[in-house]
Structure 1
Amino acid sequence: MEQGTQHRKQKVEKQIRRSRKRSSSSEMYSHAALFKKAEELLAKRIKEGDPLAYFLKGQLYFEEGWYADAFIQFEKIKDTDFQAMYQLGVMHYDGLGTKEDPEKGVEYMEKIINSTSPKARHLKYAAAYNLGRAYFEGYGVKHSAEEAERLWLIAADHGNPKASVKAQSTLGMLYSTTNPKDLKKAFFWHSEACGNGSLESQGVLGVMYLHGQGIHQNTKAALECLKEAAERGNVYAQGHLVEYYYKRKMYATAATSAKRVAENDNVDLLAKITDCLPVYIAKGVAMATFYYARCLQYGLGMQQDQAAAKIYYSRACLLDPDIVSDLELAANHGKI
């Protein structure tokens, strides 16, 4: 009887795999068919003289990852279409579909910012953010933190939700990391960005509330921010929640949460999915991994396993040696 049940189970699993394979093939065919249909429709609109169709065709290729084809399409209309010029600026700067040419990328962004055409108006915030990034990185233009800040302030536009939310969040990061720090400004900009939907800033706000940075300490507000950000995929927030649970001796919760966060092994992929900075994702995973190692080492909230603890300590160090060094120092002084 047991053997027969196992046989039926294997048969069902085989049928499921076949079904999934057919479904996957169907989805691929459907996508390919839709893409071809869209391409044909845009080609027809181009033939009929629709100027917008040229850009849409390039954008179709861009979103498919066909950067070389997108580049060719945008090149045809860059002198009359600011959206195409903007995309070319991004592609030159990042080397998408063409050789990296940050100077050319900067040139296109400057043209958009300095244009008096109403058709360029909706692109100015994004262009200012990108140009600020270029100045901050010193890539394609001489490094200038002051010019980067000026451009990001333009892009952020006093917290305007229609402006660059990325610039608002970036200003929050800037003011919390420069020397000297200006945590009140950092809090202001993270608040603006969070209110406009920034997942990155929501996590940072939670940490600032938790430790009273730039604002009076407010544990309730901190947990609201951290929990919501964590649920939305902010790994930095997840790491700080693990620390919060551990320090309050909620070891079972800390261990369970830490294990889940520590399983994240692709920081770059998470950065693409969440649009959060890789460095802060790495910090979040490193924190969680460190605390998971401590739970394993001392049998806190889980079964003790010192051999596994050593492995997780090593992983944490590889992810962010500085944050692990700080945590070890805190542990040695009895603060953890």
Structure 2
Amino acid sequence: MKLTSEKLPKNSSYTSLSHFAAKNAKVFQWRKEKTDHYSHANLVDKALQLLKERIRRGDTMAYFLRGQLYFEEGWYEEALEQFEEIKEKDHQATYQLGVMYYDGLGTATDSEKGVEYMKKIVDSPCPRARHLKFAAAYNLGRAYYEGKGVKRSDKEAERLWLFAADNGNPKASVKAQSILGLYYSTKEPKELEKAFYWHSEACGNGNLESQGALGLMYFYGQGIRQDSEAALHCLREAAERGNVYAQGNLVEYYYKMKFFTKCVAFSKRIADYDEVHDIPMIAQVTDCLPEFISRGMAMASFYHARCLQLGLGVTKDEATAKRYYSKEQNLGLTWNVLKQLLLCSLLCFLAVRAALFLAWDCVWRRLLPIGPKSVPEKVDVVNQHLLTENPVHCVPNLSFKRKICLV
């Protein structure tokens, strides 16, 4: 699974450049009647003008702020050039260079160079690098986990993530706290109690996908006693905050509980996301893994198609159902997971097996080998597989109440 880099931590000397010009609006004496003055492009232009003036006056911080503005606008080549110019004087520039070289932003991917810059941050004795150390340690752990730029070592990745997580400190790397939940639920042997603990810490610090993961752990009693009420609370909260994978699991829950009208309405909203444009946008806004956004959309597409095909909670429409089935397959679910989804549905609706076989003959032949081994031991094998194999992680939303999912 491809992880993502930790975003640049904020400190008192740095605020998002998207608000930079707006906070300095009086400098430009904008007139409210001219709405174009408040457009994003105009704000960026005004910010660049102000930064250029500050650089002329000798403000050293303005160099980094200009590079960060380029970075936030996606002008990576300009950002790289600016950060390279000041890397020996500004630790934040060094950090951003590590991210850019590791992820190949504005330059060819150079994992070794990215790791080198992150190590400089972690090993730096300078107090001005202190607020970057947890995030840099998370990124280094990611490199060891993926074996990019360094020799792969799960043990070293775990050590670095534990340092970055800092015992659940909300000012540390919340992303590391969440990734530890992922790590302990995928390593062999699994340590689900530890996974639950770290997902709880991350959730308490605002992490969106850890909240969804907690919902599934409560639902199936993995790492904690089974608690359906707490599970639904976590899943609903995560879904409301934009966790598409949690939304997909709620769709499945509504379907299995035969809340078909609710299932149809909810699943359609999710299934109608555009996989080309919406997935990257949602991933950027929530910092959720695109893989899990796709899975949530695939689950919603499957159950929406199911309801349309069988006329459950909606007028029967086999042509539209076929379109949603096709979309589900295009979203990239692994054949194994798709097979399990279909098998679980068969156990609930054996009466329609013949109709489905005729409608989707080629899919059934490929995904459902007939025989005793094709029937899972447990009806809920799908989400148990997805939870234990691929728990999820996301950046914090600090408006979320601490420890809301703990009982």
Normalising by structure 2, what TM-score? 0.73
Q: Secondary structure at the match of 2:182?
A: helix
Deviations 1:221-264 (A, max 9, x none): 11111111111111111011111111111111111111111112
Q: Secondary structure at the match of 1:276?
A: coil
Q: Is the 8 A contact 1:54 1:77 kept in 2?
A: yes
Q: Is the 8 A contact 2:267 2:304 kept in 1?
A: yes
Match of 1:293 in 2: 305
Match of 1:325 in 2: 339
Match of 1:76 in 2: 85
User: What is the Cα deviation at residue 95 of structure 1?
Assistant: 1.7
User: What is the Cα deviation at residue 108 of structure 1?
Assistant: 0.2
User: What is the Cα deviation at residue 28 of structure 1?
Assistant: 7.3
Does structure 1 residue 261 correspond to structure 2 residue 266? no
The amino acid that maps onto 1:322 is N
Pairing of 1:104-253 with structure 2 (within 5 A): 104-253=113-262
Match of 2:289 in 1: 277
The amino acid that maps onto 1:304 is K
Deviations 1:139-185 (A, max 9, x none): 22222222111111111111100011111111111112222221111
The amino acid that maps onto 1:318 is N
- How many residues are matched? 313
Q: Secondary structure at the match of 1:65?
A: coil
Pairing of 1:23-38 with structure 2 (within 5 A): 26-27=35-36, 30-38=39-47
Deviations 1:196-238 (A, max 9, x none): 1111111111111112111111111111111111111111110
The amino acid that maps onto 1:313 is Y
Does structure 1 residue 48 correspond to structure 2 residue 60? no
**Distance of aligned partners of 1:227 and 1:89 in 2 relative to their CA distance in 1, 3 Å threshold:** same
The amino acid that maps onto 1:332 is L
Q: Is the 8 A contact 1:92 1:99 kept in 2?
A: yes
Query: CA-atom RMSD, angstroms?
Result: 2.0
Q: Distance in 2 between matches of 1:30 and 1:56?
A: 20
Of Structure 1 and Structure 2, which has the larger fraction of its residues in helix? Answer: 1
Q: Distance in 2 between matches of 1:269 and 1:278?
A: 9
Q: Secondary structure at the match of 1:157?
A: helix
Q: Distance in 1 between matches of 2:289 and 2:80?
A: 27
Deviations 1:99-128 (A, max 9, x none): 221111100000110111111111001101
Structure 2: 5+ residue stretches without partners: 1-33, 349-378, 381-407
User: What is the Cα deviation at residue 29 of structure 1?
Assistant: 7.1
User: What is the Cα deviation at residue 265 of structure 1?
Assistant: 2.6
Q: With a CA cutoff of 8 Å and minimum separation of 6, indicate the structure with the bigger relative contact order.
A: 2
The amino acid that maps onto 1:274 is T
Structure 1: 5+ residue stretches without partners: 1-24
Q: Is the 8 A contact 2:84 2:97 kept in 1?
A: yes
Q: Distance in 2 between matches of 1:196 and 1:105?
A: 28
The amino acid that maps onto 1:278 is P
Q: Secondary structure at the match of 1:203?
A: helix
Q: Secondary structure at the match of 1:97?
A: coil
Deviations 1:65-114 (A, max 9, x none): 22222212111211121111001111111222222211111000001101
The amino acid that maps onto 1:150 is R
User: What is the Cα deviation at residue 45 of structure 1?
Assistant: 2.2
The amino acid that maps onto 1:80 is K
Structure 1 runs (4+) deviating above 6 angstroms are: none
Q: Distance in 2 between matches of 1:40 and 1:309?
A: 54
Normalising by structure 1, what TM-score? 0.87
The amino acid that maps onto 2:150 is V
Structure 1 stretch displaced more, 307-316 or 28-37: 28-37
Q: Distance in 1 between matches of 2:251 and 2:347?
A: 20
Match of 2:375 in 1: none
Match of 1:16 in 2: none
Match of 1:8 in 2: none
Structure 1 stretch displaced more, 303-312 or 149-158: 303-312
The amino acid that maps onto 2:336 is D
Q: Is the 8 A contact 2:37 2:43 kept in 1?
A: no
Q: Distance in 2 between matches of 1:197 and 1:71?
A: 31
